[in-house]
Structure 1
Amino acid sequence: MLADTLFGFFALYILTKVLGKTQISQLTAFDFISAIILGELVGNALFDDNAGVLQIAYVLFLWGALLYITEIITQKFKGTRALLEGSPEIVIRNGKMIRDVMKKNKLDVNQLQHLLRSKDVFSVREVEYAILETNGEISVLRKSDYQNPTRKDMKLSPMEVNLSTMVINDGEIIYDNLEEKNLTEEWLMEQLKEQGFDKVEEVFYAEYLKDEELLILPFVNRGKPKH
């Protein structure tokens, strides 16, 4: 039983890597149902006294092969994507809800409002277009009056965009990230002391951003509270 469980675990892990599904939010309805069925098949095989490693491997290989073939088909033959993965649907066009499309996708007004709020849109009047994606999320294009102005809109010169880097995590220095940013441990310790920290172990999280002060978050639950 232990060997079967370990084999099933590692086989599922390898299969998910091969299929390339990394985020639940990216799964279509077909992918989600396939994952449930795959888990059910493996689970039933594990608790079947007559099933061993070979039977589990067969189940994984067969279902995994079917999913992989489906992925290849959708990549090579564009016409199959709408059938197997679904297609995006415009549910708001020119500021107006399209009732037929909403009904087709079993989407009522309350559900649509919930999806809009998840995009920080609290009124339909702000929306020019809204597209229901194949994974159930919604993409929103606001009306021009409700869009945030960009630097280009305000005729400001472009600014350099820098990516923040974690340099301390859970009281430990991330040396690879320091090296990537050409920073030293001595520099980091100086930054900590400037903000009142004597040891790295006092810091839960520290983030470096070029031309900005080092962001330092201490352990808030460690030790006794100060009075």
Structure 2
Amino acid sequence: MFEFWTGSPDLAVYGFLIRALIVYVYVFLLVKILGQRSLSTVNPIDFIFGVIIGDIVGEPLSSGELPLGGPLAAAALIVGLHLALTVISLHTPRFRRVVEDEPIILIRHGKILKEQMTKAKVTIDSLLMDMRLLETNLNEVDYAILEANGQISVIKKSQYDSITPQDMSIEATNKGYPTVLIEDGHIILANVNKVGTVDWLRDQVTKHGYGSYKDIFLMTMDEAGQIYISPQEKQGAQ
């Protein structure tokens, strides 16, 4: 009668259905105890927790021979440990840095920090993708921070915070897709040829106060002709 709980090599279909119902309600209650988080903002510890719990409670759903009590007890222990870590982190800032990574500043005052990008293993392409997802132009960014959950947040420069061209009834030119012209001191020739020539690029570099393109970490230009430049980070500079 209680084979759905104790397990059986010949567990009937209704037994699997009862197990699925029990596991669903059990996991639902565990999530309620821990506090719900958006899946898009889950941090690495929560991700590991989810994988372990899924593996523990998922196996009895695929194998009718396993008893259900053991996996549910193990899941409860994992939840207790996870909850304890969360509570300790809330009350102990130093311990919090063991559980959660400290945010990493990738852009400070509009300048891309190459060493921090390397430390965070964030590529230029990845950074530009996040800027597009945030519908933000690099020229508007004061700070960009890699948060503990792996997402990049942006603090815009003050002049871009409130008033927009629409507020002023001004017709603005679309910025379009930004093209990378210089990356880490190297000219991206294929992209430069789409918008101008190498001589034109050198003139732009000089016009913006740089002696050589090697002094530039990243240079982009959007379809409206707006140029963004972040210089190479000097050794030892913070």
Give the TM-score normalised by structure 2. Answer: 0.58
Q: Aligned AA for 1:85?
A: E
C-alpha separation in 2, matches of 1:102 and 1:35: 28
Shift of 1:2: 2.4
Q: What is residue 148 of structure 1 aligned with on the other side?
A: 162
Whole-Å Cα distance in 2 between the matches of residues 71 and 90 of structure 1? 24
Q: CA deviation at 1:109?
A: 0.7
CA offset at residue 3 of structure 1? 2.3
- One-letter amino acid matched to 2:161: Q
Alignment of 1:1-227 (within 5 A): 1-122=16-137, 124-149=138-163
TM-fit CA distance, 1:143: 2.1
* Separation (CA, whole Å) in 2 of partners of 1:75 and 1:147: 32
Larger displacement relative to structure 2 (20-29 or 68-77): 20-29
What SS does structure 2 have at the residue aligned with 1:148?
Answer: coil
- TM-superposed CA distance for 1:80, in Å, is 1.4
Is the 2:41–2:151 Cα contact (8 Å) retained in structure 1? no
The aligned length equals 150
Residue 9 of structure 1: how far off its partner (Å): 0.9
SS of the residue corresponding to residue 135 of structure 1 reads: coil
Q: List gaps (5 residues or longer) in structure 1.
A: 155-227
Q: Secondary structure at the match of 1:149?
A: coil
The one-letter code of the counterpart of 1:131 is I
Quote the offset at 1:15 in angstroms.
Answer: 0.3
Deviation string 1:112-164 (CA, Å, 9 cap, x unpaired) is 11111222113x222111111111222212223333239xxx9xxxxxxxxxx
Q: Is contact 1:126-1:143 (8 Å) kept? A: yes
Larger relative contact order, structure 1 or 2 (CA cutoff 8 Å, min sep 6): 2
**Cα distance in 1, alignment partners of residues 136 and 61 from structure 2:** 47
RMSD: 1.9
Q: Secondary structure at the match of 1:129?
A: strand
| C-alpha contact (below 8 Å) 1:89/1:101 kept by paired residues | yes
CA distance in 2, matches of 1:66, 1:46: 24
Once structures 1 and 2 are overlaid, which stretch shifts more, 92-101 or 23-32? 23-32
In the alignment, which residue of structure 1 is the partner of 2:219? none
Equivalent residues of 1:91, 1:98 under 8 A apart: yes
Cα distance between partner residues in 2 of 1:4 and 1:112: 45
1:79 Cα deviation (Å)? Answer: 0.8
Structure 2 portions without partners, runs of 5+: 1-15, 169-238
- TM norm structure 1: 0.61
Partner SS, residue 105 of structure 2: strand
Q: More deviation in 94-103 or 141-150?
A: 141-150
Secondary structure of 2:154's counterpart equals strand
2: distance between equivalents of 1:135 and 1:4? 33
